[in-house]
Structure 1
Amino acid sequence: MELTNGFWGDQGRLARVTSGPWVGRLLFVYPDTGAEWWTFVLDPPAVDGVPGDMYFRGNDEVGSLLEQWRVEWLPRDADEVELERVRFGWRPLRGGVDWLQD
């Protein structure tokens, strides 16, 4: 798993899950403010009417989940920005983190 600000940017990344229990769903992932804490937001959520956010601690655990789910990262472009805005809307709440490498 890439552990640099260059990969994650200030706002996190969008991916499509291609394996496991959430296949076909969108996943918004970002490093949280605490070292090695990560937030995943699933869309559509696992349970109707319940927010799809999940929190994990540990870079190795997160890397393993991303591998198991075989996430395919969406290109970082205007379409990806719009998709995040429409489906999640979390990016205005985000900022960079200082625990990742530059």
Structure 2
Amino acid sequence: MRTLKWDPMFDPEEKTSIVTAWISFPTLPLNFFGKEAIFALASAVGKHLQLRMATQKKTRSSCAKDKVEVDLIGDSPTRINMGVRKKTREVVEKWVAIKYD
């Protein structure tokens, strides 16, 4: 079974490579659980659709989750490099893993 984006003109005979999927960021530090940070990370995978409620409320600090539209054609990233600015203004690279549910 595949979950597809709702379309009023849905044709079951037409093939599509766009699906909705939950992605998670298991190594994302809790201070980056804000909507803007997660939306920016998720945009590397596809179009943001829905942020998990536990992520919004920061009740599960072990993993941030977001629902995105994913194009199955092409490579999907397994990690994202993000720059983190320290108090000294120095930017440090941090790799954030992406898990596809």
Normalised-by-shorter TM-score class? under 0.3
TM-score (norm 2): 0.25
Higher share of residues assigned helix: 1
Higher share of residues assigned strand: 2
